[in-house]
Structure 1
Amino acid sequence: MKVSLMFQSPVVFAIICSCIYLLFLVSKSNGQATTDPIEVKALNSIFQQWGISDVSSWNISGEPCSGVAILNSTNIDDTDFNPGIKCNCSYNNGSTCHITHLKVYEKDVNSVIPEELANLTYLTYLNLDRNYFTGSMPTFLGQLSAMQNLSLAINALSGSIPKAIGNLKDLISLSFSSNNFSGALPSQLGNLVKLEELYIDSSGVSGEIPTSFGSLVNMRIMWASDNNFTGKIPDFIGNWTKLTELRFQGNSFQGPIPASFSNLTLLTDLRISELSNVSSTLDFIKDMKALTTLVLRNNMISGTIPSNIGEYEKLQRLDLSFNNLTGQIPSSLFNLSSLSHLFLGNNSLFGALPSQKSSSLLNIDLSYNQLSGSFPSWVTSDLQLNLVANNFIFDSSNISIFPMLNCLQRNFPCNRASPRYSSFAIKCGGPELTALDGVVFERENKSLGPASYYVTNTSKWAVSNAGMFYDRKGSLYTQNSLAQITGGGTLNSEFFRTARLSPGSLRYYGLGLENGTYNVSLHFAEIGYDDQSSRTWKSLGRRVFDVYIQNF
């Protein structure tokens, strides 16, 4: 194109030339930008190995950086955009696109993480959650230096965590929960000083938390439950003053809970359990007024419940069960307007129940304490209340409030006289059934919730449940299945179509049994998780529990 211009002054010339140059840039940027061919080849190879075909929103086999993949309004976390990529097409004056986001979520991909992924060097976001990836976490992931969010949770990955992950200096969020890794966390992860979120629960890692983690002062969320961490919970976590959520349940830590935790005043969710050897107190929570969930179960905690607990106005869930607490329950606890779930089971609390209850408190578990005295008026309200194994005295004035609860006090007074029993069988979570050998399994299909109990009308046996599924709404405490179970001996598949579930403690009591030696038979079948031979992410779950029979 030939352009003829006449200029009357240098000022006009400058203005006209500027306009022509801007128009040229706009015209060039409106042209079709193309994806780096190396990345196109890598993406096609990856998806071919994973069995992923074209999707309507963007073209895998042609130009991947097109359609919704280049729209600013596209949210990679949108459930309707899966699998999905996002691109940045601002490179080389708008002529080149690079893939920055890749998500393949809950697609049951049965494969490994291939080497071609290393060619997507501009990735800032990678989400491969809920598949069935096997093999190791590749070392080459440490070469993706632009990575900010890396998530490989709920897969079947194994081996050790690569030291090279510590090279991802821009990483903000890292997740490899629910895998089959082994060995200790590499100290190099302490180099991730921008890290704000770390999800490593049920990942299989073990050993002590590296001292290098003391540098992770930007941490806001750390989930590290259900591993085999040993040693003590590090004092330096008390320097993570931005922390809002910390979960350390089901590990092999020794106590005590560090006193430095008193610095963590922004915590909204704190869950620590199963500490051994050294006791702790609750002194460290004195300034944690932002807490909504506090779970400190089975930590050898001694002392008393803080008298200022009523100042924790946002507290909704409180579990201090299976500790060594003494003293009375502070009356201010029952003035908390937000508290909906309270578990104080198996402590050594003395005294009567307080006279007032929060209007939001629906589930109260005070089982296995030394509580005594009479019931206040609020126990007749609509709530689940477990007062098993205390020292309450029942008479005509209160025995009708909780029928048969008198049988489950610490001295278990029912059926002390004849007739005594020498056997019973229970169909947990289901109706009465008769086995092939004629044994009648009595029904146990009452609606047990987070804090509840049931005693048969014959006072022959009883059951109590404690604990709640904190992260699942509307969770049921029974499991149903139509699966055909084989190998049950005298029990056919019908016996395994229902089962009782508990996230905490499920106890059955034989009342009035004759003294002597008994054989106890427990029948289990996994009906909650898919068959592991199906190689789907839903088959990766595992159920963890202990069986406790009286003193054994």
Structure 2
Amino acid sequence: MKVYALDVVGVIPDELRNLTFLTNLNLGQNYLTGPLSASIGNLTRMQYLSMGINALSGELPKELGQLTDLRSFAFGTNNFSGSLPSELGNLVKLEQLDYDFAIKCGGPQITSSDQIVFERDDETLGPATYYVIATNRWAVSNIGLFSGSNNPQYTSTSSSQFTNTLDSELFHTARISAGSLRYYGLGLENGNYNFILQFAETAIVNSNSWKSLGRRVFDVYIQGDLILKDFDIRKEAGGVSFQAVKKEFRAQALENYIEIHLFWAGKGTCC
């Protein structure tokens, strides 16, 4: 049963519990609200259950532990609260569990056009500082001192309209670093994770002036592996600024955390 990306609004009907022969249910990318009913435990033949990117709230019901034939369960990008029920340990056939979050680098929390909540990341960082959010889900650290500046700034802002994206607001703020910028996902289940990194060049402008001549070049590591070498946002965007560039990767968490590292390796414009 597929009710995917149809902008359905409201609560999940309790009558769903009567579909006891259902094995695959996809409710993703809608605007479903309210809690997930305990009656979900009636669907004991369920193998694939997806309800990510909605506005569901409350705690996940312990009755999910009755779905012992479940192979895949996706519930990220909702407003669920509380701890995961220990009954999820009954799902011995589970192969894929989707835990996701997004970060609005250098700015306030926003919700994108596809209903992904980008958590705020507007704490002030200096040349050697770090910040861990209150929920301990993720952290950010910065190392590096900008030379020749008495008042260095570690975030940037822009009011421009950005191309190649439906969410120009995502790029109105950004973190910048003179050396090393790291993001950590914390307390994660070990396993494979998908990463989506989004960039845009805002300081080197599209004009026939010296302001267009700079080059921002850096390396990107995920879990210590170099996945982008000498990455130049503007070059990747076809030589233009204010255009979104999206990169997608997959990596594995082995010790319950993930690390994304953006590192200036001494190339590009110095000033």
The residue aligned with 2:210 is 438
Flag the structure with larger Rg: 1
Q: Aligned residue for 1:292?
A: 95
Q: In the TM superposition, what whole-angstrom CA distance separates every residue of 1:379-416 from its partner, at most 9, and x where no partner exists? A: xxxxxxxxxx3xxxxxxxxxxxxxxxxxx3xxx35329
Residue identity in the other structure for 1:264? L
Which of residues 192, 206, 209 in structure 1 aligns to 2:9? 206
- Computed over aligned residues only, the root mean square deviation of the Cα atoms, in angstroms, reads 5.0
Question: 1:428–1:443: 8 Å Cα contact kept in structure 2?
Answer: no
Distance 2:200 2:225 in 1: 14
Instruction: Indicate the SS of the match to 2:58.
Output: coil
Contact 2:206 2:240 in 1 (8 A): no
Comparing both chains, which one has the higher relative contact order based on Cα–Cα distances under 8 Å and sequence gaps of 6 or more? 2
Give the match for residue 124 of structure 2: none
Determine the C-alpha separation between the residues in 2 that align with 1:424 and 1:508. 19
- Structure 2 segments unaligned to the other structure (5+ residues): 102-118, 120-131, 158-175, 177-197, 251-259, 265-271
Instruction: Give the aligned residue type for 1:415.
Output: L
Does structure 2 conserve the Cα–Cα contact (< 8 Å) formed by 1:429 and 1:444? no
Q: Is the 8 A contact 1:480 1:498 kept in 2?
A: no
Q: Specify the alignment match of 1:258 in structure 2.
A: 61
Q: Is the 8 A contact 1:217 1:240 kept in 2?
A: yes
Q: What is the Cα deviation at residue 214 of structure 1? A: 1.2
Shift of 1:447: 5.6
Of the three residues 278, 283, 294, the one matched with 2:86 is: 283
**Separation of aligned partners in 1, 2:88 and 2:81:** 18
- Residue matched to 1:371: none
Change (3 A) 1:438 1:272: same
Where do residues 416-455 of structure 1 align in structure 2 (5 Å cutoff)? 419=149, 421-422=152-153, 428=199, 435-436=206-207, 437-440=209-212, 442-444=215-217, 446=219
CA contact (8 A) 2:65 2:88 kept: yes
Q: Which runs of 4+ in 1 moved over 2 A?
A: 274-278, 345-349, 412-430, 432-435, 437-457, 478-482, 493-498, 500-504
* Alpha-carbon contact 2:46-2:70 (below 8 Å) kept: yes
Tell me the equivalent position of 1:268.
Answer: 71
Q: CA deviation at 1:508?
A: 10
Alpha-carbon distance, 1:246 to partner: 0.8
Cα pair distance change 1:223/1:499, threshold 3 Å = same
2:235 and 2:229 map into 1 onto residues whose CA distance is 22
User: Contact 1:238–1:260 at 8 Å: present in 2 too?
Assistant: yes
How far the C-alpha of 1:500 sits from its partner, in A, is 2.8
- Whichever residue aligns with residue 61 of structure 2, its letter is P
Matched position secondary structure for 1:246: strand
Q: Displacement, 1:237?
A: 1.4
Selected match of 2:19 from 212, 216, 224: 216
Question: CA offset at residue 439 of structure 1?
Answer: 2.5
| Distance of 1:201 and 1:218 partners within structure 2 | 20
Assess, with a 3 A threshold, how the Cα gap between structure 1 residues 252 and 481 changes in structure 2: closer, same or farther. Answer: same
- Residue of structure 2 equivalent to 1:544: none
1-side partners of 2:93 and 2:83: how far apart? 21
Alignment of 1:203-352 (within 5 A): 203-276=6-79, 278-297=81-100
